[in-house]
Chains A and B, each alone.
Chain A
């Protein structure tokens, strides 16, 4: 069972425009959500996170929105830059003292078109 879903395998966006990546989850116990960026042949790199007590978190060009009632979160990148081309993974974690393992989505490949 896929508890974290990224339904768009790929997304192409013009440079300078907004990129919106979506993620849905099914486990209502998840209370912490993260986005990772991954380049080919490299490990995932943490990008931004949000706790379930918030509905928005912003860090420079990156903003994550959380809609708990819809069990949906999105990552907005604005303006998009060529270096943003990568695979983006959504991940979630449930509160579990001493064991905060992450559940990942399948990823969305973002291509920024110059």
Chain B
């Protein structure tokens, strides 16, 4: 899973600032899933994107959170006006097809700390 690159690995933001998390999928992968892991919890689905399209954002909070996967460049998860409850590890997984359950690889995650 070293092929899925997430940066930064650690991000510290003050309350009210914006957090921008990047995910570069493996070469040839055009499907990206974002998951969030709150302390002492499992990974929770947030959003599924294909190049230039949001397929499923049912797990994403309605406010302050947005995601994109442009034709060129990494997928971005953006959190505006961060609050302490946003502190978590954010993981992305990429897949060459929509068969994520058999073909996905996870990145190492971005640990967001809101102070």
Q: Please give me the residue from chain A that is nearest to B111 by CB atom.
A: A41
A112 interface residue per 8 A CB criterion = no
Q: How far is the CB of A33 from chain B (nearest CB, A)?
A: 9
Decide: A42 and B42 in contact? CB cutoff 8 A: no
In the bound complex, do residue B48 and residue A43 qualify as a contact, i.e. CB atoms below 8 Å apart? no
Q: Is the CB of A103 within 8 A of B55?
A: no
**Given the complex of chains A and B, what is the CA–CA distance between A101 and B9 in angstroms?**
24
A101 touches B33 (CB 8 A): yes
In the complex, what distance in Å separates the CA atom of A93 from the CA atom of B93?
Answer: 15
Closest residue of chain A to B98 (Cβ to Cβ) is A98
What residue in chain B is nearest A41 (Cβ atoms)? B108
Known A-B contacts A43-B4, A44-B91, A93-B101; A99 and B41 likewise in contact (beta carbons under 8 Å)? no
Q: Are B48 and A101 in contact (CB under 8 A)?
A: yes
- B101-A106 in contact (CB<8A): no
B63 interface residue, CB < 8 Å from A?
no
Q: Which of B100, B105, B111 is the one whose CB lies under 8 Å from A100? A: B100
Contact present for A101 and B56 (CB under 8 Å):
yes
Q: Which size bracket describes the interface of B in this complex?
A: 20 to 34
Contact call A45/B106, Cβ cutoff below 8 A: yes
Cβ of B72 within 8 Å of any chain A Cβ, yes or no, is: no
Closest to A89 in B: B42
Given contacts A99-B55, A102-B101, is CB(A43)–CB(B33) below 8 Å?
no
Q: Take A44-B43, A45-B1, A106-B42 as given contacts and tell me if A99 and B98 are in contact as well, using a CB distance cutoff of 8 Å.
A: yes
Given contacts A42-B108, A44-B106, 8 further A-B contacts (CB under 8 A): A4-B42, A36-B106, A41-B108, A43-B107, A89-B42, A97-B98, A99-B56, A100-B98
Residues of B whose CB lies within 8 Å of any CB of A are 1, 4, 6, 9, 33, 35, 40-45, 48, 55-56, 59, 91, 93, 98-102, 104-109, 111
20 contacts between A and B (CB under 8 A): A43-B106, A43-B109, A44-B1, A46-B105, A89-B42, A89-B43, A91-B43, A97-B98, A98-B98, A99-B56, A99-B98, A100-B98, A100-B99, A101-B33, A101-B56, A102-B35, A102-B45, A103-B45, A104-B44, A107-B42
